[in-house]
Structure 1
């Protein structure tokens, strides 16, 4: 497995894995498959190339098997912060260390960005594997958002976590 920062040439595989993530684990993301399925390759290309978004991909051979986004803040009073979004590893590769490697790479990347002092993320309270990973990397819970997401008639609570670097 190798890690790589994604560029415009990865827009199609990124789109494919992003839509898979939204279909297979809708409770883990604020966006929905319905909202993103009709976006163009150019939309995904623009997302990858945004100057304050760092999209890291995990590859097994030529196959993109996992992704994570590190987003740095651009407003003057928030520039000391970054956030993790869109963390996803394909089912066949979960438990293999891929998620840990993606997160470690995102944390390392944040440390190279001038002024970043803390990294934020949210996780659905029932996702024990993800919570365990984030906790093992030093993230701590600082709050809970009750009924943060609603899919059909089901609500999902989220925990807010932070890592001070």
Structure 2
């Protein structure tokens, strides 16, 4: 049975182990590198988890028989002009648990928890443009591709493109409503 919940500092070692696995096995899927992250200590990871506001910035984990097998983070942007947006980052499912729906359930959880944020209007993410199965999962949840960042990552001399995707949570305001809100005649 799969259990998905927000991670706490007590989960730091398991989270760190799984994150390093993802960075090592799939370097093209993350902006961080294994070499950068291995320098961290589990205590630093626990501190990072402790410092998250569980309402607007959280890391979730998917457990299978008490083993952490999937991770993902949601962060609402903090600046006044961009706090209507949030990002899903660092999603990874252990290689031996991929392709069985755990990643999809983890994404559903991240989106549902993010929807509880009152002023959040859209969720953004990036995904390697060659990762068709991940893109299909995001599309099933309502994400739409709005752009492509060519040569987004460079690893060992090879470039990787990223698809930019967005999930709109609230409809865009009509021009009249926007003018009224800005007090424009």
- TM normalised by structure 2 equals 0.87
Superposed CA deviations along residues 25-50 of structure 1, whole A, max 9, x for unmatched, are: 00000000000001011221122232
Asked if 1:108 corresponds to 2:112, the answer is yes
For residues 30 and 3 of structure 2, what CA distance do their matches in structure 1 show?
Answer: 25
> Contact 1:47–1:53 at 8 Å: present in 2 too?
no
Q: Does 1:119 align with 2:93?
A: no
Provide the residue aligned with 1:91 in structure 2.
Answer: 95
**C-alpha displacement of 1:78:** 1.0
Three-state SS of the structure 1 residue aligned to 2:81 is helix
Shift of 1:18: 0.4
Match of 1:4 in 2: 5
The alpha carbon displacement at 1:53 in A equals: 2.2
Residue 61 (1) aligns with residue 76 (2): no
Structure 2 unaligned spans of 5+: 170-185
Aligned CA-pair RMSD: 0.9
Q: What is the DSSP-based 3-state SS (H/G/I as helix, E as strand, rest coil) of the residue aligned with 1:66?
A: strand
Q: Deviations over 1:76-133 (max 9, x none)?
A: 1111111000000111211211011101001101110121110000001111111111
* Number of residue pairs the alignment of both structures matches: 165
State yes or no: 1:26 paired with 2:54: no
The match for 2:43 is: 42
Larger radius of gyration: 2
CA distance in 2, matches of 1:162, 1:97: 21
> Do the aligned partners of 1:7 and 1:48 also contact (CA within 8 Å) in 2?
yes
Task: Supply the distance in 1 between the matched residues of 2:109 and 2:43 (Cα, whole angstroms).
Answer: 26
Equivalent position SS for 1:16: helix
CA distance in 2 between counterparts of 1:145 and 1:46 reads 32
Partner of 2:15: 14
TM-score (norm 1): 0.97
Partner in structure 2 of residue 72 of structure 1: 76
